Chains A and B, each alone.
Chain A
Amino acid sequence: MERKNFQKNYLINFIAVLFLFGIIVMSLQMKLINNYYQGLLIIAGINIMAASSLNLAAGYMGQLALGHAGFMAIGAYTAALIGLHTNLPVMAKLIVGIGCGGVMAGLFGVLIGIPALRLRGDYLGIVTLGFGEIIRIALYNLPFTGGAAGLKKIPKLINLPILFVILVLVISFLFLFVRSRHGRALLSIKEDEIAAESVGVPTIYYKVYGFAVSAFLAGVAGGCLAYFQRALDPNKFKFMLSVEFFIIVVLGGMGSFTGTILAGLFLAFINEFLYEVDELRLVIYAVLLIVVMIFKPSGLLGNREFSLTASGRWLKRKLTEKK
Chain B
Amino acid sequence: MEQLLQQIINSLHVGSIYALIALGYTMVYGIVQLINFAHGDILMVGAYFAFFGLTAYRLPFGVSLLVAVIICALLGMLIDKIAYKPLRNAPRISALITALGVSMFLENGFRYLFGADTKRMPDIIGAEKAFRFGSVRISHMTFITIAVAVLFMLSLQLIVHYTKTGKAMRSVSEDTKAAQLMGINVDRTIAITFAIGSALGAVGGILYSMNYYEVQPYMGMMPGLKAFVAAVLGGIGSIPGAMLGGFVIGGVETITRGYISSTWADAFVFGILIIVLIFKPTGILGKNMKEKV
Whether A140 is near chain B, meaning CB under 8 Å from some CB there, is yes
CA A64 – CA B273 in complex, angstroms? 17
Q: Mark A113-140, 1 if CB is under 8 A from B, else 0.
A: 0011011111101110111011001101
CA A283 – CA B113 in complex, angstroms? 11
| Interchain CB contact (< 8 A) of A138 among B96, B109, B267, B277 | B267
CA A141 – CA B266 in complex, angstroms? 12
* In contact, B105 and A283 (Cβ under 8 angstroms): yes
A119: B residues at CB distance < 8 A = 277, 281
Q: Mark B87-122, 1 if CB is under 8 A from A, else 0.
A: 100111111111011101101110110001000000
Whether A176 is near chain B, meaning CB under 8 Å from some CB there, is no
B112: A residues at CB distance < 8 A = 279-280, 283
CA A48 – CA B267 in complex, angstroms? 29
Please give me the residue from chain B that is nearest to A192 by CB atom: B293
Whether B144 is near chain A, meaning CB under 8 Å from some CB there, is no
| Interchain CB contact (< 8 A) of A131 among B96, B105, B274 | B274
Q: Mark A197-213, 1 if CB is under 8 A from B, else 0.
A: 00000000000000000
| Interchain CB contact (< 8 A) of A282 among B108, B261, B266 | B108
Whether B264 is near chain A, meaning CB under 8 Å from some CB there, is yes
- How many Å from the CB of A230 to the closest CB on chain B? 27
Which of B44-52, B175-183, B196-204, B221-229 contacts the other chain? B221-229
B100: A residues at CB distance < 8 A = 243, 246, 289
A127 with B98: in contact, given A137-B266, A283-B108 (CB under 8 Å)? Answer: no
B274: A residues at CB distance < 8 A = 112, 115-116, 127, 130-131
* In contact, B104 and A134 (Cβ under 8 angstroms): no
Interface residues of B in 68-91 (CB under 8 A from A): 83, 86-87, 90-91
Please give me the residue from chain A that is nearest to B231 by CB atom: A126
Specify the main secondary structure of chain A where it touches its partner: helix
Whether B195 is near chain A, meaning CB under 8 Å from some CB there, is no
A177: B residues at CB distance < 8 A = none
Q: Mark B244-271, 1 if CB is under 8 A from A, else 0.
A: 0000000000000000010110110011
CA A119 – CA B109 in complex, angstroms? 34
* In contact, A286 and B277 (Cβ under 8 angstroms): no
B92: A residues at CB distance < 8 A = 64, 121-122
B102: A residues at CB distance < 8 A = 286, 290
Whether A294 is near chain B, meaning CB under 8 Å from some CB there, is yes
A280: B residues at CB distance < 8 A = 108, 112
Whether A97 is near chain B, meaning CB under 8 Å from some CB there, is no
* In contact, B277 and A122 (Cβ under 8 angstroms): no
Please give me the residue from chain A that is nearest to B263 by CB atom: A141
Please give me the residue from chain A that is nearest to B277 by CB atom: A115
Count of chain A residues near B, Cβ 8 A: 42
Whether A319 is near chain B, meaning CB under 8 Å from some CB there, is no
CA A26 – CA B83 in complex, angstroms? 48
Whether A285 is near chain B, meaning CB under 8 Å from some CB there, is yes
CA A283 – CA B270 in complex, angstroms? 28
* In contact, A141 and B264 (Cβ under 8 angstroms): yes
Whether B2 is near chain A, meaning CB under 8 Å from some CB there, is no
Whether B232 is near chain A, meaning CB under 8 Å from some CB there, is yes
CA A297 – CA B95 in complex, angstroms? 9
* In contact, B221 and A239 (Cβ under 8 angstroms): yes
* In contact, A58 and B93 (Cβ under 8 angstroms): yes
- How many Å from the CB of A115 to the closest CB on chain B? 4
Whether B31 is near chain A, meaning CB under 8 Å from some CB there, is no
Whether B1 is near chain A, meaning CB under 8 Å from some CB there, is no
CA A29 – CA B274 in complex, angstroms? 51
| Interchain CB contact (< 8 A) of B270 among A130, A246, A289 | A130
- How many Å from the CB of A252 to the closest CB on chain B? 13
Whether A62 is near chain B, meaning CB under 8 Å from some CB there, is yes
A127: B residues at CB distance < 8 A = 273-274, 277
* In contact, A286 and B105 (Cβ under 8 angstroms): yes
* In contact, A293 and B101 (Cβ under 8 angstroms): yes
Interface residues of A in 67-116 (CB under 8 A from B): 112, 115-116
CA A130 – CA B221 in complex, angstroms? 12
Whether B278 is near chain A, meaning CB under 8 Å from some CB there, is yes
CA A141 – CA B264 in complex, angstroms? 8
| Interchain CB contact (< 8 A) of A123 among B101, B108, B225, B281 | B281
* In contact, B270 and A134 (Cβ under 8 angstroms): yes
- How many Å from the CB of A255 to the closest CB on chain B? 11
* In contact, A125 and B98 (Cβ under 8 angstroms): no
B232: A residues at CB distance < 8 A = 123, 126
* In contact, B104 and A133 (Cβ under 8 angstroms): no
Having A137-B263, A294-B83, one finds 4 other A-B pairs with CB under 8 Å, namely A119-B281, A120-B291, A134-B267, A283-B105
CB-based closest 9 A-B pairs: A130-B270, A289-B101, A286-B105, A286-B104, A282-B108, A290-B101, A115-B278, A297-B94, A137-B267
25 A-B residue contacts at CB 8 Å? A62-B93, A120-B291, A121-B92, A121-B93, A122-B33, A122-B92, A123-B281, A126-B232, A126-B273, A130-B225, A130-B273, A133-B225, A140-B263, A141-B261, A141-B263, A279-B112, A283-B109, A286-B102, A286-B104, A286-B108, A286-B109, A287-B101, A289-B97, A289-B100, A294-B87
